Structure formats: structure tokens, C-alpha cells
Amino acid sequence: MIIEPIAYIHSPFNSKFGIPRQSGVVGSLKASIVFEPKYRSADAIRGMEDFDYLWLIWEFSANSHAGASLMVRPPRLGGNEKVGVFASRSPFRPNRLGMSSVKIDFIDYDAKDGPIINVLGADLMDGTPIYDIKPYVTYVDSHEGARCGFVDRNKWTKLDVVITDEDKAKLVQAGMNEELIAELTEVISEDPRPQYQDDNDKVYGMIFAGLDIHFVVKSGNATLVW
């Protein structure tokens, strides 16, 4: 089977570091899905406005090669314990395919390259190719009481993010509005660091909404550095 992208996503992330490790964990994150020319038709998404969520099938396009190992180290297990690749959501997979559930924010039918689907909670890097879109259907996609393996047994600890008034002023001066600052705060709170690293002096960097953001983490508190 040969597949080709039907669309590409536009998001605040220009690099892999900092992207939420699952869709929906940063529910305020905005992204937009722009179809390739042959699929830019209102007919292709007719009825989508009656759904709240979508499944996106996409490619880990920033990975230069397919995963070669059948064992991976999920962040939820601290980055040291291994599980099978098919018992994980690791990006290092034989076919590099990802799957995300995102919330529809609104559909812009009148945009220049429309229709454009604006979504919330995406965990995709800017420019990621999307191969298919399917509606999320509660009666088959939601399973109450389902076991979730090591995810159930290992709680994810968020960071407390401290952004001072001075930080906010610098971010606004650089072109970031209050909404983006709130999104950035939530992104950092999800602790994008490799889980085996806990160095109080290490400065972590990420590109978010076109800005080069740096922060340090000490005793569970994340602060920006300039």
C-alpha cells in the first residue's frame, strides 16, 4: 500500500522537544489542519461539524529512521525500564505512524486554503503530515473501566511553572499574547525533560510559537531563563 498525506498540521512546535507526550494533556494548545489541494473541498468534511473530536493518523516525520528495536523506554517508566514497542506509544516504531485524538475548535470554510480544521490538544510538530482523519465515536472509542497497564501504575508528576511579571513582559515584547503564554505554561508543566535527567543546573531549550524558550527545573519548580 502506498499512502500520501491528505493534509499537514500547523502548530507552535518547530522541534520535537517540548511537544506534549500525548494528545489532550495540554487541552488549550491550538493547531490547524490544512488539506492538500486535491482534498480542499467542503464535501470532504461534510458532517464533521456534528462531532466534537477527531482521530488523526499521522507520521513521526521528524524521526530520521524507523525504530529498529522491539523494546522501548517509555517516559512514564522513568526512561529506564523497557516494554515492548507495541505495548507503548513510543515514536520509534517500525512504520513511524502516530495516532492522536484532538478536539475540534472550529472549521474555517472561508479561509484562503480552506476548509481549515482548527483543533485543540494536538501533540504534533509543525508540518507533520496527516494521512487520515476519522471522527471520534464515543460508543466504540471510549471503554469505561479499561485497564491501562504501566500508565495506571505510574503517576505523572507535573512541574510548577513560575512565570514572573517580568517574564510576561519580555514574552509579550517578543510577540507572544496572553493566550500563548498560558499554553506555554501548560506545556512546560507537563515536564518535557528526559525522565532520567534531574540536573538543577541544566538549561533546557525549546522553540515555541517561533520563540526560543529556555528554562531550568529545581525541586519541581520550572523558571524561565534569559
pLDDT confidence of residue 196: 76
pLDDT confidence of residue 154: 84
**Ordered structural domains, the chain, with CATH:** 7-141 (2.40.30.70), 160-224 (no CATH)
pLDDT confidence of residue 195: 76
pLDDT confidence of residue 156: 84
Higher pLDDT, 57 or 81: 57
Q: Specify the pairing of strand 221-224 against strand 160-162.
A: parallel
Please state the rounded mean pLDDT for residues 125-136. Answer: 98
pLDDT confidence of residue 75: 85
* pLDDT above 80: residue 198: no
- Inter-residue contact 131 to 6 (CB < 8 Å): yes
Neighbours of 162 (CB within 10 A): 13
Cα distance between residue 125 and residue 130, in whole Å: 11
Question: Model confidence at 49, in pLDDT bands (50, 70, 90)?
Answer: very high
pLDDT confidence of residue 67: 67
* pLDDT above 70: residue 209: yes
* pLDDT above 70: residue 58: yes
Tallying the residues shown for the chain, one arrives at: 226
The residue assigned the cell 493534509 is: 7
* pLDDT above 90: residue 9: yes
DSSP assignment of 199-225 equals: -TTPPEEEEETTEEEEEEEETTEEEE-
pLDDT confidence of residue 168: 96
Looking at every residue in the chain, the average pLDDT score rounds to 93
Please state the rounded mean pLDDT for residues 63-89. Answer: 85
> What's the whole-model pTM score?
0.90
For the ranges 78-82, 124-128, 169-173, 216-220, the lowest mean pLDDT is seen at 78-82
Please state the rounded mean pLDDT for residues 86-106. Answer: 94
Q: How far is CA 212 from CA 64, 109, 114, 130, 226, in A?
A: 23, 33, 30, 26, 10
Any long-range contacts for 163-168 (C-beta under 8 Å, 24+ apart)? 163/224, 164/224, 167/224
What percentage of the chain reaches a pLDDT higher than 70? 98
